[in-house]
Chain A
Amino acid sequence: GENVEQHPSTLSVQEGDSAVIKCTYSDSASNYFPWYKQELGKRPQLIIDIRSNVGEKKDQRIAVTLNKTAKHFSLHITETQPEDSAVYFCAASLSNFGNEKLTFGTGTRLTIIP
């Protein structure tokens, strides 16, 4: 089955700087890669996703890049703010409209230092 590795496990960034979280996956057939943000005591919230036919996607301060050849994808957060502090999870799935189960990475605890 799919295996997703994520690093770093913890990341501290000065407010205003950029943060990058990286994930690798094992199944070359995976074609859908979402990122979730989980604040303490809250549910995971989808913040951005990317599909295999796209190399990069951006939404305001958040961007995700995908390298299918190397089987890795990354989350980039620019101009970080204190409210970006949370645990971030990457995930991968083989999306074929009936089998969308997600395999999650181990998570990255991001701390923004004011």
Chain B
Amino acid sequence: SAVISQKPSRDICQRGTSLTIQCQVDSQVTMMFWYRQQPGQSLTLIATANQGSEATYESGFVIDKFPISRPNLTFSTLTVSNMSPEDSSIYLCSVTSGSIPDTQYFGPGTRLTVL
């Protein structure tokens, strides 16, 4: 499977600021997704990062709050904008590869704490 890295691994941010999380894959992948995992909870899909076009957001998530970029087939960024303590979560990217299209592998996650 693809090797997925995320930066930063963790961060502590002040209310009202923004943080950009990077997801890098060591090979070209078909699909890239961004999930949120609130403390002690399950994973919730934020959006599908589409290469060369606007991301597809799930209900309850909007582009102004979570802008996403995917400039190529190996890299994506998620920005958490105008943060509040409720944004404190683990943010994970996941990818699918062409060999087994629907199998998703997760990055190590970014643990975000908003004060």
A interface residues (Cβ-Cβ under 8 A, vs B):
1, 32, 34, 36, 42-46, 49, 89, 93, 95, 97-98, 100-107
Contact = CB atoms under 8 A, between A and B. Distances in A.
B86 to A, nearest CB: 19
Given A43-B92, A43-B109, A100 B42 contact: no
A49 B105 CA distance: 12
User: Which of the listed residues B42, B45, B92, B105 has the most CB atoms from chain A within 10 Å of its own CB?
Assistant: B42
B42 A43 contact: no
Given A43-B109, A46-B105, 10 more contacts: A43-B106, A46-B103, A49-B103, A89-B42, A93-B102, A95-B102, A100-B96, A103-B45, A104-B43, A106-B41
A101 B45 contact: yes
A-side binding surface: helix, strand, loop or mixed? loop
Contact of A44 (B33, B59, B101, B106): B106
B7 to A, nearest CB: 14
A46 B100 CA distance: 13
User: Which of the listed residues A46, A97, A101, A102 has the most CB atoms from chain B within 10 Å of its own CB?
Assistant: A101
B109 A89 contact: no
A44 B105 CA distance: 8
B42 A102 contact: no
Contacts, number: 49
B44 interface: yes
> Which 6 residue pairs are nearest across A and B when measured between Cβ atoms?
A95-B102, A100-B102, A43-B106, A104-B42, A104-B43, A44-B106
B104 interface: yes
B43 A89 contact: yes
User: Which of the listed residues B48, B102, B103, B105 has the most CB atoms from chain A within 10 Å of its own CB?
Assistant: B102
A97 B103 CA distance: 11
B31 interface: yes
14 contacts: A34-B104, A43-B92, A43-B106, A45-B106, A46-B105, A89-B42, A95-B102, A97-B102, A101-B33, A102-B33, A104-B42, A105-B42, A106-B41, A106-B42
